[in-house]
């Protein structure tokens, strides 16, 4: 294990925006339990698609999109607050 100093651009919650040394742009630190939930949500979407249940698939996809939009908004807000350009 290596210990380093990183720049924390937001509070240290479940989706902290952090810039590691040597990186031009920050990233989002996703906690393991949050990553597992995200993966489970994607698996639920895939299962609904396999069953041909388009209503459930649409609902699952909509929830995923809302969650990812919130994560992206947090990231973009942090960049804006620190006057950093977006990498896209």
| Sign for the pseudo-dihedral over CA of 31, 64, 26, 12 | negative
C-alpha 65/C-alpha 57 separation (Å) is: 12
8-54 pLDDT, tens per residue? 999 988 899 999 999 999 999 999 999 999 999 999 999 999 999 99
Whether this model's pTM surpasses 0.75: yes
Q: How many CB atoms lie within 10 A of CB 2?
A: 3
**pLDDT at 12 (0 to 100):** 81
**pLDDT at 13 (0 to 100):** 82
Query: Structure tokens of 35?
Result: 């990553």
- The b/e string for 57-74 (b: 16+ C-beta within 10 A; e otherwise) is beebbeeeeeeeeebeeb
**pLDDT at 59 (0 to 100):** 97
């Amino acid at each position: 294990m290596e210990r380093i100093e990183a720049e924390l651009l937001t509070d240290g919650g479940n989706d902290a925006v952090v810039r590691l040394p040597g990186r031009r742009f920050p990233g989002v630190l996703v906690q393991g339990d949050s990553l597992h939930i995200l993966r489970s949500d994607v698996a639920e979407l895939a299962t609904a698609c396999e069953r041909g249940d388009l209503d459930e698939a649409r609902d699952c996809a909509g929830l995923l999109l809302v969650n990812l939009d919130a994560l992206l908004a947090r990231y973009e807000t942090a960049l804006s607050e620190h006057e950093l350009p977006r990498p896209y």
